[in-house]
Amino acid sequence: MVPQQKTSPMPFHRYEPFAPVDLPDRTWPSKSITEAPRWLSTDLRDGNQALIEPMDSARKHEIFQLLVRMGYKEIEVGFPSASQTDFDFVRSLIEDDLIPDDVQISVLTQAREDLIERTVQSLVGARRATVHLYNATAPTFRRVVFRVDREACKNIAVEGTRHVMRFAEQYLGETEYFGYEYSPEIFVDTELDFALQVCEAVMDVWQPGPGREIILNLPATVERATPNVYADQIEWMSRNLTRREHVVLSVHPHNDRGTGVASAELAVMAGADRVEGCLFGHGERTGNVCLVTLGMNLFSQGVDPEIDFSDIDEIRRTVEHCTQLPVAPRHPYGGDLVYTAFSGSHQDAIKKGFTDLDARAAEAGKQVEDYPWDVPYLPIDPKDVGRNYEAVIRVNSQSGKGGVSYVMQRDHSLDLPRRLQIEFSQVIQSFMDAEGGEFPAERIWEIFSETYLAERGPVAVLAHRSSTSEDGTYTIEADARVNGEIRELKGTGNGPISAFGDALADVDVKVRVIDYVEHSMGEDGNARAAAYVEAEIDGRTVWGVGIHSSITTASLKAVCSAIGRA
């Protein structure tokens, strides 16, 4: 019988399901995103207001410079009426001429006359600037926070917009471009017809038209529904707004249900032109939508995010330093572990994937960097965001031969034959059972050296000479240490290994070679060679390995290594 789940003791009866939107002819499900939306970073406002310790001026400057370097053109730089520090930061950006000509800063304010005046004053001297005004429009906020009806709530937005325009005229005569953004806060909980009414009333005051856009930002201030509901709300607004061509429809998803990224993406499919968020998802409570994830999701589909993520670790370090909060190791695209495989089957597929990619690129006469990426378990090439392949495969008790042999190949240019891979990974597993934890690449090499390369068997070759007769017989003479005694051995065969095997019979060592593989360990002529011998010795089948600049010496060492292992 299938086990039956039981009713939980959770008080779920206290919560209401979200009402769906009546939009049977919705079009967003069959859309796809083919270009980057306009981005606004609110790291310095929504991100900053949610920090345990808000950023000081130096940290704010650091984040601002990072955002500019990455390519963000719209940056919300603060809430200047909140404090002298916020005000002074905006002033320093303007007075020290730190805002590039093609970057538009914006500042947020409540719809209160005194706060609006102070906010506009903070922008005096800016070349381009936007004032962003918000007031909550949702029923609970009308009842609880403002204690007003719909009409009075709408008037807060309308009057606020008038104040913004009046103060802008008074203080910002020199500003080349003055923009306006309005947000009906908690849009997702606001009745759609009322959200539309407020936005229309605001537009009636601002009078958008050619060359005079308005940004209408529809925030999921608290994410409460599945992303499809947000998409429906955005499509409904997009269809019903008048003057749509002059409206920049913006979304501002928070991440309370953990679906901020999906909400933003579906909202763009539903008609949003612009997305507000923060790097690595900082912001109130569970954060704003993560701009890194959104941008990189586009990149991974072959769409230019129009933002430079090519040094993801520098971005992460700066954000961690400025916010004083860590980025989770599994955070998409930027976390420490997101390009790392520990488990055997993943490692095996990744190793094969790299080999296949190299081969297909070579066959097509292309550099791997220019060849379409298609490696199992890795959605993007870690190198595209400045990561190297070192962290791609890490070895612990969940790893198999693929991971271990990948490390040997990557770090030591040793291409272990398949059966040696199996044998060596069992050696590693036995050490792991005893020692536990993760095995770094250096420990793997240490064990490999001790197991296969250390000269600790009964036979060691000190010097050798060889010749080949006309009939192809190969003769070897070797000075060897056998059980501590120096001996001169001589044998013949069809090559160095069979001749050496023949010579060893004189000292009662019986070696039957089953397999032999050799390869050069580099491209240049001086590269060393690796030789691998699989041999049956005293009834046991083992592998031996030899590394030397001479391939003959490497193969004799490999035979001695196998004897030592047996």
Ligand X SMILES: CC(=O)SCCNC(=O)CCNC(=O)[C@H](O)C(C)(C)COP(=O)(O)OP(=O)(O)OC[C@H]1O[C@@H](n2cnc3c(N)ncnc32)[C@H](O)[C@@H]1OP(=O)(O)O
Ligand Y SMILES: CC(C)C(=O)C(=O)O
Per CB under 6 A, residues contacting ligand X are 46, 49, 79, 81-82, 110-112, 115, 134-135, 145-146, 156, 185, 221, 284
Contact 395, 428 (CB under 8 A): yes
Contact 492, 475 (CB under 8 A): yes
Cα–Cα distance measured from residue 269 to residue 312, given in angstroms and rounded to the nearest whole number: 27
Least distance in Å: CB of 135 to ligand X?
Answer: 4
Least distance in Å: CB of 108 to ligand Y?
Answer: 6
User: Which residue lies nearer to ligand X by CB, 69 or 143?
Assistant: 143
Least distance in Å: CB of 404 to Mg ion?
Answer: 47
Contact 261, 232 (CB under 8 A): no
Q: Is 500 in the site for ligand Y (CB under 6 A)?
A: no
User: Which residue lies nearer to ligand X by CB, 107 or 530?
Assistant: 107
389 SS3 class: helix
Distances from the Cα of 458 to the Cα of 61, 90, 172, 190, angstroms: 68, 77, 90, 84
User: Which residue lies nearer to ligand X by CB, 47 or 179?
Assistant: 47
Q: How many residues bind ligand Y (CB under 6 A)?
A: 10
DSSP 257-298: TS-HHHHHHHHHHTT--EEEEBGGG-SSTT-BPBHHHHHHHH
User: Which residue lies nearer to ligand Y by CB, 219 or 544?
Assistant: 219
Least distance in Å: CB of 50 to ligand X?
Answer: 8
Q: Is 252 in the site for ligand Y (CB under 6 A)?
A: yes
Least distance in Å: CB of 118 to ligand X?
Answer: 9
- In the chain the first and final C-alpha atoms are separated, in Å, by 53
Cα–Cα distance measured from residue 412 to residue 404, given in angstroms and rounded to the nearest whole number: 12
User: Which residue lies nearer to ligand Y by CB, 116 or 378?
Assistant: 116
User: Which residue lies nearer to ligand Y by CB, 181 or 213?
Assistant: 181
Q: Is 178 in the site for ligand Y (CB under 6 A)?
A: no
Indicate which single residue of 79, 134, 178, 516 sits in contact with ligand Y (rule: CB under 6 A).
134
Strand stretches in 425-539, DSSP E: 459-468, 474-482, 485-493, 511-520, 529-537
Instruction: Choose the stretch contacting ligand Y; rule: CB under 6 A; options: 214-222, 357-365, 389-397, 417-425.
Output: 214-222
How many angstroms separate the most distant Cα atoms in the chain? 108
Least distance in Å: CB of 183 to ligand X?
Answer: 8
Structure tokens at 119: 């906010």
Contact of residue 79 among Mg ion, ligand Y, ligand X, none (CB under 5-8 Å per partner type): ligand X
Q: Is 185 in the site for ligand Y (CB under 6 A)?
A: yes
Q: Is 46 in the site for ligand Y (CB under 6 A)?
A: yes
Q: Is 183 in the site for ligand Y (CB under 6 A)?
A: yes
CA dihedral angle for residue 558, residue 559, residue 565, residue 566, rounded to 10 degrees: 160
Cα–Cα distance measured from residue 530 to residue 518, given in angstroms and rounded to the nearest whole number: 6
Contact 243, 203 (CB under 8 A): yes
Least distance in Å: CB of 215 to ligand X?
Answer: 16
User: Which residue lies nearer to ligand Y by CB, 285 or 540?
Assistant: 285
Contacts 24+ apart (CB under 8 A), 114-120: 114/81, 115/81, 116/81, 116/160, 116/163, 116/164, 116/167, 117/163, 117/167, 118/80, 118/81, 118/87, 119/80, 119/81, 120/164, 120/167, 120/168, 120/170, 120/171, 120/172
User: Which residue lies nearer to ligand Y by CB, 78 or 403?
Assistant: 78
CB-based burial, 276-289: b 16+ in 10 Å, e otherwise: bbbbbbbbbeebbb
Q: Which residues contact 72 (CB under 8 A, 6 or more apart)?
A: 39, 40, 41, 103, 307
Contact of residue 217 among Mg ion, ligand Y, ligand X, none (CB under 5-8 Å per partner type): ligand Y
Q: Is 276 in the site for Mg ion (CB under 5 A)?
A: no
Q: Is 217 in the site for ligand Y (CB under 6 A)?
A: yes
Contact 225, 18 (CB under 8 A): yes
Least distance in Å: CB of 410 to Mg ion?
Answer: 44
Contact of residue 49 among ligand X, Mg ion, ligand Y, none (CB under 5-8 Å per partner type): ligand X
Structure tokens at 342: 């520990």
Contact of residue 110 among ligand Y, ligand X, Mg ion, none (CB under 5-8 Å per partner type): ligand X
CA dihedral angle for residue 249, residue 252, residue 255, residue 256, rounded to 10 degrees: -100
Q: What x/- string results for residues 59 through 98 when contact with ligand Y is judged by CB under 6 A?
A: ----------------------------------------
User: Which residue lies nearer to ligand Y by CB, 45 or 401?
Assistant: 45
Indicate which single residue of 48, 135, 197, 221 sits in contact with ligand Y (rule: CB under 6 A).
221
Q: Is 250 in the site for ligand Y (CB under 6 A)?
A: no
Least distance in Å: CB of 230 to ligand Y?
Answer: 13
Q: Is 76 in the site for Mg ion (CB under 5 A)?
A: no
Contact 404, 424 (CB under 8 A): yes
User: Which residue lies nearer to ligand Y by CB, 88 or 256?
Assistant: 256
Cα–Cα distance measured from residue 130 to residue 56, given in angstroms and rounded to the nearest whole number: 23
User: Which residue lies nearer to ligand X by CB, 45 or 387?
Assistant: 45
Which DSSP state fits 393?
B
CB-based burial, 35-63: b 16+ in 10 Å, e otherwise: ebbbbbbbbbbbbbbbeeebbeeebbbbb
Least distance in Å: CB of 82 to ligand X?
Answer: 3
The answer to whether 240 is a known ligand-binding residue is no
Indicate which single residue of 36, 37, 45, 46 sits in contact with Mg ion (rule: CB under 5 A).
46
Binding site per annotation, positions:
46, 252, 254, 288
Q: Binding residues for ligand Y, per CB under 6 A?
A: 46, 108, 134, 183, 185, 217, 219, 221, 252, 254
Q: Binding residues for Mg ion, per CB under 5 A?
A: 46
Binding site per annotation, positions for Mg(2+):
46, 252, 254, 288
